[in-house]
């Protein structure tokens, strides 16, 4: 290693190995890429689940995005589980298209879409989601 005649330094806290931390929300998310059906009132649209946690999803959806606070019904499958899951959710935040193709304006690392919080979810489906997220997170460690 290149030396400049300086005494060796202890690496800073950010460079020391440490366990993976939970996201700011406190809930792990997993990438899914699963197609989903979105029902808003009488309208049915196709979207894609970009990521999934036990409390909600990030939904890739072409504009116009449902209004913040709107209630939607989502039907989707989990990765590796063909049994469909239907739940109700609330639109929490928008990530409208940016000037860069395929990137959202609010969070450029995500495609345009919206965050959806589950409001009505069958307890068996909640357990299925939790098991899939847990298995994915543990397999990555």
Q: What is the DSSP letter of 29?
A: -
- Domain presence at residue 2: no
Q: How many domains does the chain have?
A: 1
The answer on pLDDT for 52 being more than 70 is yes
Residue 85 sits in a domain whose CATH number is: 2.40.10.220
pTM: 0.80
Q: What is the DSSP letter of 15?
A: G
Q: pLDDT tens digits, residue range 78-117?
A: 988 999 999 999 999 999 888 998 888 888 888 999 999 9
Q: What is the pLDDT of residue 10?
A: 52
The answer on pLDDT for 29 being more than 90 is no
Instruction: Report the 10 Å Cβ neighbour count for 90.
Output: 17
Q: Which one has a higher pLDDT value, 51 or 2?
A: 51
- Domain presence at residue 94: yes
The answer on pLDDT for 62 being more than 60 is yes
Structural domain range at position 120: 30-139
- Domain presence at residue 77: yes
């Amino acid at each position: 290693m290149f030396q400049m005649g300086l005494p060796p330094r202890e690496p800073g806290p950010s460079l020391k190995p440490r366990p993976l931390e939970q996201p700011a929300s406190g809930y792990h998310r997993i990438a899914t890429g699963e197609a989903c059906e979105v029902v808003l009132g009488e309208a049915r649209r196709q979207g894609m689940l970009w990521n999934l946690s036990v409390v909600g999803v990030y939904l890739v959806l072409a504009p116009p995005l449902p209004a913040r606070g709107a209630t939607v019904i989502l039907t989707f499958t989990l990765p590796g589980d063909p049994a469909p899951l239907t739940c109700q959710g609330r639109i929490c935040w928008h990530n409208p298209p940016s000037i860069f193709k395929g990137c959202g304006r609010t969070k450029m690392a995500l495609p345009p879409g919206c965050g959806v919080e589950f409001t009505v979810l069958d307890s068996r489906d909640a357990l299925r989601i939790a098991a899939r997220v847990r298995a994915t997170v543990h397999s990555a460690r």
